[in-house]
Chain A
Amino acid sequence: MSGKPKLYYFNGRGKMESIRWLLAAAGVEFEEEFLETREQYEKLLQDGSLLFQQVPMVEIDGMRMVQTRAILSYIAAKYNLYGKDLKERALIDMYVGGTDDLMGFILMFPFLSAEDKEKQRAFIVQKATSRYFPAYEKVLKDRDFLVGNSFSWADVHLLEAILMVEEKKSDVLSGFPQLQAFKARISSIPTIKKFLEPGSQRKPVPDDKYVETVRRVLRMYYDVKAN
Chain B
Amino acid sequence: MSGKPKLHYFNGRGRMEPIRWLLAAAGVEFEESYLEKKDDLTKLRKDGSLLFQQVPMVEIDGMKMVQTRAIANYIATKYNLYGKDLKERALIDMYVEGIFDLNELFIYYDIQPADKKEQHFANMMDKATNRYFPAFEKVLKDHGQDFLVGNQLSRADVHLLDTILTAEEFKPDILAKFPLLQSFKARISNIPTIKKYLQPGSQRKPPIRPEDIPKLRAIFH
Q: Taking A70-B94, A89-B73 as contacts, is the C-beta distance between A135 and B52 under 8 angstroms? A: yes
Q: Which of A52, A61, A89 contacts B135 (CB 8 A)?
A: A52
Contact of A77 with B86 in the complex, beta carbons under 8 Å:
yes
Is the Cβ of B73 less than 8 Å from the Cβ of A67? no
Those of A39-63 within 8 Å (CB) of chain B: 51-53, 61, 63
Query: CA separation between A90 and B67, bound complex, in Å?
Result: 10
The residues of B that contact A96 with a CB separation of less than 8 Å are 70
A51 to B92, CA, bound (A): 13
**How many interface residues does A have (CB within 8 Å)?**
28
- Asked whether A52 lies within 8 Å of B98 as measured between CB atoms, the reply is yes
Residues of A within 8 A of B101 (CB): 52
Report the bound CA distance from A78 to B65 in whole Å: 24
B97: A residues at CB distance < 8 A: 67-70
A101 close to chain B: CB less than 8 A: yes
Q: Is the CB of B69 within 8 A of A93?
A: yes
Name the A residues within 8 Å of B112 (CB-CB).
none
Q: CB within 8 A of A67: which of B52, B61, B65, B94?
A: B94
Contact-residue bracket for chain B:
20 to 34
Contact count A vs B, C-beta below 8 Å: 76
Chain A residues, CB < 8 A from B65? 90, 94
**A70-B90, A98-B51 known; A87 vs B69 contact (CB < 8 Å):** no
Partner of A73, one of B51, B93, B135: B93
Q: Is the CB of A90 within 8 A of B63?
A: yes
Cα of A128 to Cα of B97 in the assembled complex, Å: 25
**Does B34 sit within 8 A of A, measured CB to CB?**
no
Query: Could you say which residues of chain A place their CB within 8 Å of the CB of B7?
Result: none
Per a CB cutoff under 8 Å, which of A63, A69, A131 touches B53? A131
Q: Which residues of A contact B73 (CB under 8 A)?
A: 89-90, 93
Does B195 reach chain A (CB closer than 8 Å)?
no
Contact check, A52 vs B69: say whether CB atoms are below 8 A apart.
no
B182 beta carbon closer than 8 Å to chain A: no
Rounded to whole angstroms, the CA-CA distance of A90 and B86 in the bound complex is: 17
B68-92, CB < 8 A from A: 68-70, 73-74, 77-78, 86-87, 89-90
A145 to B15, CA, bound (A): 29
Residue B26, interface by CB 8 Å: no
Q: Is B66 close to A, CB under 8 A? A: yes
Determine whether the beta carbon of B67 is less than 8 Å from that of A51.
Answer: no
> Contact at A70–B52, with CB atoms within 8 Å?
no
What distance in Å separates the Cβ of B106 from its nearest Cβ neighbour in chain A?
A: 16
Q: A51-B98, A93-B67, A132-B52 are in contact. Are A70 and B93 (CB under 8 A)?
A: yes
Let me know if B74 and A63 touch, CB within 8 A: no
Residues of A within 8 A of B94 (CB): 51, 65-67, 70
Q: Which residue of A lies closest to B92 (CB)?
A: A70
Q: In whole angstroms, how far apart are the Cα atoms of A96 and B78 in the complex?
A: 20
Interface string of A62-97 (1 = CB under 8 A from B): 010111111001100110000000110110011011
Q: How far is the CB of A45 from chain B (nearest CB, A)?
A: 11
Greatest chain B CB density within 10 A among A74, A78, A89, A96 is at A74
- Using Cβ atoms and an 8 Å threshold, which residues of chain B touch A101? 52
**In the bound complex, CA of A122 to CA of B66 (Å):** 25
Q: Out of B66, B87, B96, name the residue touching A63 (CB < 8 Å).
A: B87
Q: Is B178 an interface residue (CB 8 A)?
A: no
Which residues of A have CB within 8 Å of B96? 70
With contacts A51-B98, A69-B97, A70-B90 taken as known, whether A97 is within 8 angstroms of B69 at the C-beta atoms is yes
- Cα(A67)–Cα(B92), bound, Å: 11
B contacts, CB < 8 Å to A: 51-53, 61, 63, 65-70, 73-74, 77-78, 86-87, 89-90, 93-94, 96-98, 101, 131-132, 135
| Sampled A-B contacts (12; CB under 8 Å) | A51-B135, A52-B101, A52-B135, A61-B87, A69-B93, A70-B96, A73-B90, A94-B51, A94-B67, A98-B51, A131-B53, A132-B52
Q: Which are the 10 A-B pairs with shortest beta-carbon distances?
A: A97-B67, A93-B70, A70-B93, A67-B97, A94-B70, A70-B94, A90-B74, A74-B90, A52-B98, A94-B67
